[in-house]
Amino acid sequence: MNLRAARGTRDVMPPEVDRWQRVESLARQIFALYGMQEIRTPIFEDSKVFEKGTGEQSEIVQKEMYRFTDLGGHDLTLRPEGTPPVVRAYLEHRLAEGKDVTKLYYIGPMFRYERPQKGRYRQFHQIGAEAFGSEDPAVDAEVIEMAMFWLKELGVESPTLLINSVGDQDDRPSYMEKLVAAQRTYLSDLSEDSRRRHEINPLRVFDSKDPRDHAVIEKLPTIIDHLSSSNRDHLDRVCGYLSDWGVKFRLEPHLVRGLDYYRRTVFEITSPALGAQDALLGGGRYDGLVQQMGGKVDAPAVGFASGLERIVLAMPDESLAPPVDCFVVTIDDSVRAAGLNLMWRLRHSGIRTTAEYQGRSLKAQMKVANRSAAPTVVIVGPDEVASGTFTIKRMSDGQQVSSGADSLAEDIRTLLASEG
Ligand code: AMP
């Protein structure tokens, strides 16, 4: 029997996992600079959380959920996205009642039954951020700028920021009438998929990647030209702050985003380093969702979700740090215990240390040390144990330094720091 990871899932192996850790730790550091705090919600939720949050008519709820009934008969779903669980927790823990702005971020796996391809998986990982409690365009701009700052620090290749406004209840209904009427005139020119979208969610026609639809899309009215004056002002102010903070962006009138709950600001960050699935991150404002999910009063909110797999793909191939700092080699069995002791001391002094554990010869141990890419090797033999003086060898250039057991850790650190 050949057991393999399930279709659409993958193992993140070392050393790739180092890059994941870097993405995660930089997110924690940078998001904290904006007053964001981490929230960890369960991996599965009552299916209603997504029916109400993501929306019953959405593609995710209709076609992509890992939904199951547990042994107690409960209707549960593996979370396909992070925002509805965070809103559910925000309400459950009564954070809305404080009326303060609440800023939360999350890191974790999401599940969607999609057709797998490069950059698209059935279990994937998102890092997302949400700010509840204010309509201020400064919050939209802050969340967007934070995402750009983070991607820049990660060295992601040319992140491109696209922004649009999808309006709200004041301007969207009248715009939708115009859009549907226009789509109807070109119906026979649209792809089958877009004709279906026209029936269910006409805005999503703009999302079509089918070349047949492009000529029609160019002729359709865009919402950005039909915004109410207050929504236009909101968008202008978001853009104004971004310009003040040196963030480059492009207004993209065709950007609508897949989820139905967005109001006013929507944005997406893409990278040319990715293939067809080029979106690193997407988000927007979702005023109304808190109330839709049972809030007594609404809390306006804005946030984004990014795809960890795609960020890692778009990061430069920088040389990765070796997995250990030092490899301890023992000359024979008589000094094995002394070697193990030395390792124990090194680890407790902060030196990442390993050894060979199959009782091989000195020569074979040196080969393993080489393969491990450890930048230093310490050789332990009867003479070293008797004198208490050890030799540290720097593998890159063969330089050797003698050191007493007490100063070994410090000397390894110095040797590593002085490496050219
Ligand atoms: P969404 O939650 O659909 O707005 O997606 C936000 C981000 O999550 C996207 O920009 C992608 O980077 C990532 N993403 C969404 N779906 C997948 C998937 N099936 N596989 C990998 N990444 C995904």
Query: Are residues 340 and 244 part of one domain?
Result: no
Query: Are residues 371 and 232 part of one domain?
Result: no
Ligand 1 near 271 CB (within 6 A): no
| Residue minimizing CA distance to atom 18 of ligand 1 | 120
pLDDT mean over 100-118:
96
Q: Ligand 1 test: best mutation among 126, 270, 306, most atoms within 8 Å of CB?
A: 126
Query: Are residues 113 and 65 part of one domain?
Result: yes
Query: Are residues 282 and 304 part of one domain?
Result: yes
pLDDT given at position 420: 64
CA of 62 to the centre of ligand 1 (A): 17
Domain of 284 in residue numbering reads as: 16-171+227-314
Query: Are residues 360 and 294 part of one domain?
Result: no
Is the Cα torsion angle 234, 222, 300, 257 positive or negative in sign?
A: negative
For residue 128, list its beta bridge partners.
106, 305
CA of 275 to the centre of ligand 1 (A): 14
| Residue minimizing CA distance to atom 3 of ligand 1 | 258
CA of 307 to the centre of ligand 1 (A): 5
Query: Are residues 365 and 269 part of one domain?
Result: no
Whether the predicted pLDDT of 320 surpasses 80:
no
CA of 26 to the centre of ligand 1 (A): 20
Is the Cα torsion angle 247, 250, 253, 259 positive or negative in sign?
A: negative
Query: Are residues 284 and 336 part of one domain?
Result: no
Query: Are residues 236 and 153 part of one domain?
Result: yes
Whether the predicted pLDDT of 261 surpasses 90:
no
DSSP-assigned letters across all residues of 314-343 = HS--PPPPPS-SEEEEESSGGGHHHHHHHH
Please report, rounded to a whole number, the percentage of residues in the chain having pLDDT higher than 90: 88
Longest Cα pair distance anywhere in the chain, in angstroms?
92
What distance in Å separates the CA atoms of residue 304 and residue 32, rounded to the nearest whole number?
Answer: 16
What distance in Å separates the CA atoms of residue 13 and residue 54, rounded to the nearest whole number?
Answer: 32
Q: Token digits for 51?
A: 């029916």
Where would I find the H helices in 67-210? 83-92, 137-153, 172-185, 192-200
Ligand 1 near 109 CB (within 6 A): no
Tokens 């690193």 correspond to what residue?
Answer: 280
Query: Are residues 150 and 58 part of one domain?
Result: yes
Q: Ligand 1 test: best mutation among 86, 122, 124, 207, most atoms within 8 Å of CB?
A: 124
> What domain count does the chain have?
2
DSSP-assigned letters across all residues of 251-276 = E-TT---S-TT--SEEEEEE-TTS-S
Quick: pLDDT tens for 322-377. 899 999 999 999 999 999 999 999 999 999 999 999 999 999 999 999 999 999 99
What distance in Å separates the CA atoms of residue 270 and residue 6, rounded to the nearest whole number?
Answer: 28
Quick: pLDDT tens for 149-166. 999 999 998 899 999 999
Query: Are residues 381 and 300 part of one domain?
Result: no
CA of 108 to the centre of ligand 1 (A): 12
Ligand 1 near 310 CB (within 6 A): yes
- Map residue 372 onto helix, strand or coil: helix
Number of other residues whose CB lies within 10 A of the CB of residue 359: 10
| Ligand 1 atom at minimal distance to the Cα of residue 116 | 19
Whether the predicted pLDDT of 266 surpasses 80:
yes
Amino acid of residue 158: S
Quick: pLDDT tens for 225-260. 999 999 999 999 999 999 999 999 999 999 998 777
Query: Are residues 397 and 251 part of one domain?
Result: no
Closest CA to 301 of 312, 289, 313, 292: 289
Cα→Cα distances 356→207, 266, 339, Å: 55, 54, 11
Quick: pLDDT tens for 159-211. 999 999 999 999 999 999 999 999 999 999 999 999 998 998 899 899 888 88
Ligand 1 near 281 CB (within 6 A): yes
Query: Are residues 402 and 258 part of one domain?
Result: no
Number of other residues whose CB lies within 10 A of the CB of residue 12: 14
Q: Ligand 1 test: best mutation among 144, 270, 277, most atoms within 8 Å of CB?
A: 277
What distance in Å separates the CA atoms of residue 19 and residue 219, rounded to the nearest whole number?
Answer: 43
